[in-house]
Amino acid sequence: MSLATGPAVSSNEERPYYSWGQSHLWLGAAVAVLTVLLVILLPAAKPPVWLRRTGWTALAAFALEAVIGFLPLPQAPAVRTAHAFLGQLLFPLAILIAFRTSRGWATTAGQAEGTPWLRRLMKSTPIVMLAQVALGVLHRHGATGVAPHLLSAFIVVFFVLGLSLPVIYQPEYHSLHRAAAAFLTIALVQVLLGFVLFTLVAVEADPSVTILMTLIHAAMAALTLSATVIMAVLIRRRIAL
């Protein structure tokens, strides 16, 4: 919800749903408390060193996010862009920590043999998705036009299909079929929302509808990035690459 209410403040010149943005501060405070609790309680799960560092990275990122958010208004576009991008990064970090410390992490169905192509996609797809999220933030805050973000969406689709479809249709990867299907669904819904938003802007639709779609699209961006990271982690864990 914090990710959804942010654009109602920072990139909402028409001001519909602006009242939603007033809850952004309180939602941010709730996220702060939960992030601190997450880092404090993380050692109890006996995590590996890299996960502890991930927790401290999330806490440091949120501290920086809070500092940027409390800078005096009106904020420069670069400041608003940095604040929005950090918000997009924080959600996948929190999801990764929660997933790695969940009971389901210990449940494995053995390791199937992977391919060099799948290994390359596992490593590159999160990077491509992160770049797409960054382009979306830059466009939303007026730093770039829509063309880079729109064109890169086609590239993202190829990476998503390349990573998910082999996992879905290869019987030896049966333990990851549901995860791959969920990842594919989330990513394609996000792409669809993006094209709907582009159409609304092109036809100069009602600002309230356009802004509402912007809020949903921004929140879904963080969810899509998180799904990409989790999919890559699952492939790395359950497929021998």
Q: Which DSSP category does 206 fall into? A: -
For residue 231, the Cα-to-chain-centroid distance in whole angstroms is 12
* pLDDT tens digits along 179-195: 999 999 999 999 999 99
E-state strands within the chain: 112-113, 239-240
> For residue 136, how many other CB atoms are within 10 A of its CB?
24
Q: Please give the pLDDT value at position 223.
A: 94
* pLDDT tens digits along 98-143: 888 887 776 655 577 778 888 899 999 999 999 999 999 999 888 8
* φ/ψ bin of 111: left (φ > 0), alpha (ψ from -120 to 50), beta (otherwise): beta
Spatial separation of the C-alpha atoms in residues 134 and 153, rounded to whole Å: 12
Whether the bond between 74 and the residue before it is cis, its omega within 30 degrees of 0, is yes
In contact, 54 and 94? CB cutoff 8 Å: no
For residue 15, report the phi and psi dihedrals to the nearest 5 degrees: 70, 15
